[in-house]
Amino acid sequence: MRLTTKGRYAVTAMLDLALHASRGPVSLNDISGRQGISLSYLEQLFAKLRRSGLVASVRGPGGGYRLSREDTSINVAEIVDAVNESMDATRCNRKGDCQEGLECLTHHLWLDLSDQIHNFLSDITLNALIERREIQATAARQDERANSRIDLLLSSEGSN
């Protein structure tokens, strides 16, 4: 069992959104630049996140996305679930038909593991992640890099 790119990117993008929420709506272009996730992929993920009620879109100049609830009430499992990501450690998608149509010997072990992972991620909110020092340091580094790229672009445009 492994969390695929879809689930990882959704959590990363939501964390970025939560980190920058105090500045108003956050554009997908900004998230894309900071996190290195393609804009078209983010658009697909945010459509699912919006349908699940985790984000709201803001139209117009200065528009983008915002969290639909407080970051203390959005957990990682909800985000992963919203993008239809499976956290299933069984090879049969929980159906119990893993061995010639019947449950295999370890079916319930892998079911229990899947439930433990989901419960673990349910206990971690976006706010809990934001409060971690290492995440704050990483976000500051990403913001600095993004601002440097913007400054470089502006200076090169000014010299033309």
Most confident of 87-91, 98-102, 136-140, 152-156: 136-140
- pLDDT over 90, % of the chain: 73
Residue 55 pLDDT grade (very low, low, confident, very high; cuts 50, 70, 90)? very high
Residue 29 belongs to some domain of the structure: yes
Residue 158 belongs to some domain of the structure: no
Q: What pLDDT, on a 0 to 100 scale, did the predictor assign at position 121?
A: 95
For residues 56-80, give the mean pLDDT: 95
Residue 160 belongs to some domain of the structure: no
For residues 135-156, give the mean pLDDT: 83
Question: Which residue range(s) make up the domain with 78?
Answer: 5-151
3-state secondary structure of 64: strand
Residue 53 in this model has a pLDDT that exceeds 70: yes
Q: What pLDDT, on a 0 to 100 scale, did the predictor assign at position 80?
A: 95
The one-letter amino acid code at 122 reads S
Q: What pLDDT, on a 0 to 100 scale, did the predictor assign at position 158?
A: 65
DSSP output for the chain: ----HHHHHHHHHHHHHHHTGGGSSB-HHHHHHHHT--HHHHHHHHHHHHHTTSEEEE-STT-EEEESS-GGG-BHHHHHHHTT-----SSSTTSS-TBTTB--TTHHHHHHHHHHHHHHHHT-BHHHHHT-HHHHHHHHHHHHHHHHHHHHHHHHHHT-
Residue 42 to residue 29: CA distance in whole angstroms: 9
Residue 21 in this model has a pLDDT that exceeds 70: yes
Q: What pLDDT, on a 0 to 100 scale, did the predictor assign at position 1?
A: 52
CB 45 within 8 A of CB 9: yes
Residue 157 belongs to some domain of the structure: no
Q: Give the count of domains, the chain.
A: 1
- For the domain that residue 139 is a member of, what is the CATH number? 1.10.10.10
Q: Which helix H or strand E contains 81, and what residues bound it?
A: helix 76-82
Residue 96 belongs to some domain of the structure: yes
Residue 15 to residue 12: CA distance in whole angstroms: 5
What is the tens place of the pLDDT at every residue in 96-122? Answer: 888 888 899 999 999 999 999 999 999
Buried b / exposed e along 3-20 (16+ C-beta atoms within 10 A): beebbebbbbbbbbbbbb
Residue 86 belongs to some domain of the structure: yes
Weakest-pLDDT range from 20-24, 99-103, 151-155: 151-155
Residue 156 belongs to some domain of the structure: no
Q: What pLDDT, on a 0 to 100 scale, did the predictor assign at position 117?
A: 92
Residue 70 belongs to some domain of the structure: yes
